[in-house]
Structure 1
């Protein structure tokens, strides 16, 4: 029996050495990831036989297992192995994508011309990956269960696997669509260029055109192969286009030789150029036969030949350019760009340039090179025509220029009093022929009434002054009654007697220009979405109403400003287009409340303002404002859901003292902001105290900013006591501000200011750093059996910042603290504002070594599922549950909270202990810690140090 056990152990050890058995490292696949490159995470086993035994990645239980996979065709197959893990709590779908062809790293010699890479994929558990239809890559759909770790064994169809990625399906679809659009544009430009050059060859039979057309068609053929176009047309098996790709690269090199020979007309320079070009062309075309035998060899030679052609071609071009050959000089910039493209292509195929956009960029660059070559050819071929040589007369040139401008000839024969314009104007206006062919007075019937006097006086002035120019815009009535704008530019022609005999010029239809100007003028003073007046037009109307009121003493205008409450949240939840519809609906509803003398404007994104003239008494104005508020409160139906909104309304009513328009609007805005601070959905009238409150608030914000910069903020420490022996367990760190003029300012006053002004992050980091430093000093000075801890409050704005992790890490690195003694306190409302994000942030904070405390438990959401998920160390019971309130349910609720905390493995701290009876009751209920005025108010560092000294003295005795 022992011998059998020894033999089995030896056999197991031999198998572990003979086959790959080490555990894989699983690649985590977060739900938020778009794409993950698995190329370096894959273990390859080339030519490893018809089956493969591998060890799986450790699962969630840490166990490494072994699996064996057999080949589909029992051949000496190549294999690849990788593992994926889903760290999230939701099932995710991903696409495994292995492209058939990658230009990056495809090699210069014996290049990899692409093929199907994956025959099958076998998972260690779960659903087998499903192959997806694709002409460009092997695509498999995999499903990862929450917390699963799956090892995938891939049977390869080729010994190499240049690239394999894991894509989010929608992102992969969008990426493929984006590249498809780009490829379509490139193919369209290339195809049009090739067709255009071919047509030019038919029109102008110069030899350079067919040579350039051959180059363009070769580039188009290469791009269609590279983009997989022929795979769809010729039904080529995916990944089996090596022959076509090799032939395309050979054709590219051959066409470049043909173009260079034809464009530079090398046969006129020396016979050696022709022999060299012909020999090179024969050798390159011979590669087509090699491609049938081995496409990889032919493609490698073609790539090397392409580089040699580029270098030798540049040498020939430079030599001819030095000799003053025009064609060579014109080709130098384009050939330099071609050399740059060849350099980039060489760096790509050798792997020096390796990214996703280099292959599409090279395709676009190749089309750009051919486009520039085409422009160079056309520039040379069409240089020097009849027009360029100036064979036309000056009169003909002027006639051609006038015809090209599109203007209408306007000729007024003054002696005969007859205006001639041809039939263009009559056609534009839809009039009968000959209506405008007559005396000037006939034009007055079709000219806009507002333009008639100007038209008549302008023509009279030209005749009387016998000089000058006519430049006038006027409107002519069309047959359907609409008017079109025209601009007349003319000058008089004086006869031998000094009198004006004719007036000749041009007439241009400028209707579109005028319409554009009117639209721009309208948009400059109106809101584009609602069509309401914007701030500039509103202020102008308000100023006019105030001026009229002061001049006539009637109708003082009042200003009403209302802002939609929580509109941003509604906009984020239902979308921008729906939000725009809501804004339009609100504008229409409020507009129906107005009378003709009133005016409504859109002041901002969701803020509107009113100039109210129809109501003068204060109670009627307030009633009107309340009607506006109620109009906003009415539900808005959008699709299958109803949206409920409220508005904060502010009113500014001018008194007998003169007031400017901007001041009146500012007063209404201050009243609206006060209504919003009071909870919204209410109407507030401006009063002078609001202005004082606003200015005081701004002063406090400036003073708070200055205090943070000059250490004007101090930290106090309120002791937290261990109820079992009344010993000090820790402190809560609290910010205090002693204003130099106003004295101590309550945190309830300056904390909201800090949150609204963005200073809360700087203030929170200051308190966190000071608390950690002081705790480090205390832990070093007082060697207590259980290390002291401090608790620091974290606001919602701090938690939502990504820099919070770095801030806590920096604070902990500067202070030597026992793990978990720096506790971060967060309220339930802060955590539940964004539960998913909060869970990730709290988990990362815990890994840094910070403790987590849930403050004010029981006053917020109290979601037990999230409480179990967040894994807090401590629960702080709100003081409303600790202080006696005469209700019999209070001890029951308090006992339940303490028991809940203990069942979840958390310690419980009670706030608000003010008497011995409170402390005794909390201890009997099982609460470990308490804080309150019974054990000490928030105190300075020196006083807290004295308490700790007394604590140490008690321990020594």
Structure 2
């Protein structure tokens, strides 16, 4: 063959062999690899990037080798040596390009923290069962507890393909080719470091355990448990545990997961015990117990599924660190010393967990990080131990046994926070001092020295008392000092100081020293002053209350007996219809108005006068600045005008009036009597319509007692059947027939005879009996009406009953009317309820609602005394009345020509509004004729009939023939 063609044909043959190998690979066989070139001075080579891993290839594996020095690709078949082969294989190739033989170690560590993962982490195991080279015999395994190590020898210029039988499905976390001596030096270097760390961790665990025995606080066993858990973790991580406890192959994963669970468990226990979460935080305690219970269960689960247990433990460590940081910051904000002391250590815990997270997620993969994390964990426990010991020794040592009586008293004094006060009487030296901050504002430097040095810093009013107290103790040689003094503090303000001390006698019976304590009681004194102020002043207005008012009146009265120029007057002020303000606007608004009125009244006074709020809307005033009668009246008038000034509230103006009663101080009087006289005058002012000033008159006392007696008699009148109804006929003007009756209350007193309604109705209204009177009138009137309907057979016959203001504001009025109508089976239209114009105007909104509901029931409604109010026309259409009763003043002939015109206008207006008209007070037949001409339907007066008893009214209905005849 031609010499030039021979090399070309050789290369072509090699290429064909390579193509054949590739085609064989596509036919189901493995590809050949690129060999890793090895130089003589290489110390460690990372083989993992050059390794191909084949999964699930079974117990027999075929692969094409890397082309050798002759360029030929060969095929080899490898049988699994392990009976429990996973069917996973790894293939790599090494090339010795040097001219010498090279010995190297193939090292696959059983566990590598870097890249192990957070969830279902790789906890380590045997990685390589065996390695078969493409040339020669299987590689020899070197004894090593931490890694799978195989010795390989490469001839000069050789290229060898290696097939590794993988013993774990988790693959190869790391595969390196080490120079034997370099690998041995590296192992020895880490051995020294690991020994140091293990020694520190062991000593720390033992020391903290001993500390727990000596000091029985719960934080010490928790810290000791954490130290032992860290020691166990490091023993496993540094492969020292196998030297202590024999571990079967595959069990290292269980031990590693168990130590990680123990680490998570003890960290939670330490945080809980150190921060004293069990003392005040019940929810945190319950949550911690549940958490620890879960971790205990996780420790049991580590035996069955170590990766799951380890993954959850790692998550628990992260959550514990986060929640611990939140709790520590919260308690630090609350000034909790333990939390403040733990901040540096816990910051290191957070940093360690961050480094651990970067390591297990594969972001930090160098050889130093794993042992560094173990050393950092020991450093954390060391700092925790220092923190705990610092807290323990801060309490004053380890004395946990019995203490002497002197020590107990000293500790008790320290616990009170009081200052020590010691007066050496013989040397006249006072020592005063305090350990706490509660007395830090007191000038202790000025308090230490002779007793006379106290005088400049004491309040001027307390100096004599201080000197007298010390002199008395020394002179009498017995007793106790229990005094409160005011001492000027460093800031210039006076502080109340409570001094409690007792003398100490010498052998001669004389006082040699006086020893006790001082306490700052300024806040206590301020609280007493506030309580005293609140006891004597009204909380709403800040004015004196009734007790202080009586006390001042008594003092001024005593002064008036010795000084003729002092002539006090007492004025009682009551706001008219203030209850209506509360009903309309609410109690809060009423309080605001009372506060405004109190301020207005106070502005009228002079400094020597006294204004007080006695109760509710009642004010009392002691006037000493004015003694002349005219000046007193003028002053009272200014008070009345101050009350009447409009009060702007919510975009509207509220105008109030007041009833004033005035009385003077008489010699020999007592405050209660004077106030009673002013009250009687004030009540008289209210009876006369309010908004007026009424001086006291002696006759008011008799009237007041008579009023109380009449009120008592009225209460008993219901049970004695002294009340009755009279019925005044309402006549139909068209035919003179009786259309109905108006029911009028009558009271027949057993001693006084008949009492006018004008006399007992106001008493009933003021005492609240008016509701009971109204209920009586309603039931009696409807009962009589039912009887008359049955007798006459005329259901159109009506009866009118007057409604009081108390009844009109009660929601029960609707129920009362409905119940009475149902009980006596009376048509609703035959009952007419009469309401005066002034009554509905007291509360128009409330009245409109209630009257509308009554009208919906079918009950008739009459507007009584029409024309006597000030807003009849403006509000007439707002209320559902069906009858208008014209007041008798419009029928009275007083010579005024406009009266007939007004009467005609009222009747015409009522008809236009669809209302029936009843004229009251018809005196002559001419009036009746005129009313009939105006189409007025009904009339009611003594001309037709006076009020009749029920029996007379019944007989009248039987006759039904009254007409226009005068009642005889």
Query: For the superposition of Structure 1 and Structure 2, which TM-score range results when normalised by the shorter chain?
Result: 0.5 to 0.7
2:499 aligned residue: 488
Could you say which residue in structure 1 is the equivalent of 2:171? Answer: none
Which residue in the other structure is 2:662 paired with? 651
The 1:590–1:928 alpha-carbon spacing in structure 2 relative to 1, beyond 3 Å, is closer
* Secondary structure of 2:528's aligned partner: helix
Cα distance per residue 1:758-816 (max 9 Å; x no partner) = 111111111111111111111111124x6311111112221210111111122112212
Q: Which residue of 2 aligns with 1:913?
A: 922
Distance 2:467 2:285 in 1: 64
Q: Are positions 1:735 and 2:751 aligned together? A: no
Structure 2 counterpart of 1:767: 777
Asked if 1:724 is matched to 2:734, the reply is: yes
Give the equivalent residue in structure 2 for 1:412.
Answer: 423
CA distance in 2, matches of 1:206, 1:637: 62
Give the alignment's TM-score, normalised by structure 2. Answer: 0.56
User: Are residues 473 and 770 of structure 1, via their aligned partners in 2, closer, same or farther at CA, if it must alter by over 3 Å?
Assistant: same
1:186-201 equivalent positions in 2, closer than 5 A: 201=269
Q: Distance in 1 between matches of 2:272 and 2:461?
A: 57
Q: What's the CA shift for 1:633?
A: 4.8
> Quick one: distance in 2 between partners of 1:394 and 1:707?
80
Question: Paired residue for 1:519?
Answer: 530
What's the offset of the Cα at 1:663?
0.9
Q: Distance in 1 between matches of 2:281 and 2:596?
A: 59
Q: Partner of 1:223 in structure 2?
A: none
Instruction: List gaps (5 residues or longer) in structure 1.
Output: 1-196, 220-254, 268-273, 287-381
Name which one, 1 or 2, has greater alpha-carbon Rg. Answer: 2
Native 8 Å contact 1:722 1:930 kept in 2: yes
Task: Find 1:471's aligned residue among 482, 487, 500.
Answer: 482
Residue of structure 2 in register with 1:793 after alignment: 802
The residue aligned with 1:455 is 466
The equivalent residue for 2:116 is: none
Corresponding residue number in structure 2 for 1:680: 690
- Residues 508/831 of structure 1: CA separation in 2 closer, same or farther (3 Å cut): same
Q: More displaced, 847-856 or 745-754?
A: 847-856
The change in CA–CA distance for 1:388 and 1:559 in structure 2 (over 3 A counts) is farther
For the pair 1:203 / 2:274, whether they are aligned, the reply is no
Aligned residue number for residue 660 of structure 1 = 670
Alpha-carbon distance in 1 for matches of 2:526, 2:459:
16
Are 1:875 and 2:891 an aligned pair?
no
Deviations 1:380-420 (A, max 9, x none): xx9xx999975554444333322221101112233433222
Corresponding position of 1:403: 414
Counterparts of 2:752 and 2:303, CA distance in 1: 93
Cα deviation 1:567-595 (Å, max 9, x = unaligned): 55567778877766765665566556656
Q: CA deviation at 1:530?
A: 4.6
Give the whole-Å Cα distance in 1 for the aligned partners of 2:674 and 2:744. Answer: 42
Instruction: Determine the structure 2 residue equivalent to 1:852.
Output: 861
Q: For residue 936 of structure 2, give the secondary structure of its aligned residue in structure 1.
A: coil
Aligned with 2:941 (options 928, 932, 936): 932
Contact 1:215 1:259 survives alignment (8 Å): no
- The 1:548/1:884 distance shift into structure 2, 3 A limit, reads closer
Contact 1:564 1:607 in 2 (8 A): yes
Contact 1:792 1:823 in 2 (8 A): yes
User: CA RMSD of the aligned region, Å?
Assistant: 4.4
Q: Name the structure 1 match of 2:852.
A: 843
Distance 1:772 1:198, change over 3 A: farther
Give the 3-state SS of the residue equivalent to 2:462 in structure 1. Answer: helix
Per the alignment, in what secondary structure is the counterpart of residue 910 of structure 1? strand
Which whole-Å CA distance do the structure 2 matches of 1:213 and 1:445 have between them?
A: 50
- Structure 2 match to 1:753: 763
Note the C-alpha offset of 1:729: 1.5
Residue by residue, what CA displacement relative to the aligned partner does 1:644-679 show, whole Å, maximum 9, x if unpaired?
A: 554432221245x63222111211221122223323
**Change in CA separation of 1:551 and 1:569 when aligned onto 2, cut-off 3 Å:** same
Q: Is the 8 A contact 1:647 1:682 kept in 2?
A: yes
Q: C-alpha distance in 2, partners of 1:214/1:796?
A: 58
**Contact 1:215–1:256 (Cα < 8 Å) also in 2:** no
Does the 8 Å contact 1:426/1:436 carry over to 2? no
Name 1:356's counterpart in structure 2. none
Of 797, 806, 830, the match for 2:839: 830
Cα pair distance change 1:689/1:843, threshold 3 Å: same
2-structure distance, mates of 1:581, 1:907: 45
The Cα offsets for residues 576-622 of structure 1, whole Å up to 9 and x where unpaired, read as 77766765665566556656654433333443333334444434433
TM-score by length of 1: 0.57
Q: Against the structure 1 CA distance between its residues 878 and 478, is the aligned structure 2 distance closer, same or farther, given a 3 Å change threshold?
A: same
Is the CA contact 2:575–2:659 (under 8 Å) kept in the aligned structure 1? yes
Rounded Cα–Cα distance in structure 2 between residues aligned with 1:855 and 1:278: 97
Cα separation, 2, equivalents of 1:802 and 1:702: 27
1:755–1:485 distance in 2 versus 1, CA, 3 Å:
same
Number of equivalenced pairs: 613
Distance in 2 (CA, whole Å) between partners of 1:708 and 1:867 is: 36
**Secondary structure at the counterpart of residue 761 of structure 2:** helix
Return the offset for 1:509: 0.7
Local SS of the residue matching 1:435: helix
Secondary structure of the residue aligned to 1:449 is coil
How do 1:867-906 and structure 2 match up within 5 A? 867-868=876-877, 870-906=879-915
1:31-64 Cα offsets, whole Å, 9 max, x none, are: xxxxxxxxxxxxxxxxxxxxxxxxxxxxxxxxxx
Query: Which consecutive unaligned segments of at least 5 residues does structure 2 have?
Result: 1-264, 313-391, 964-968
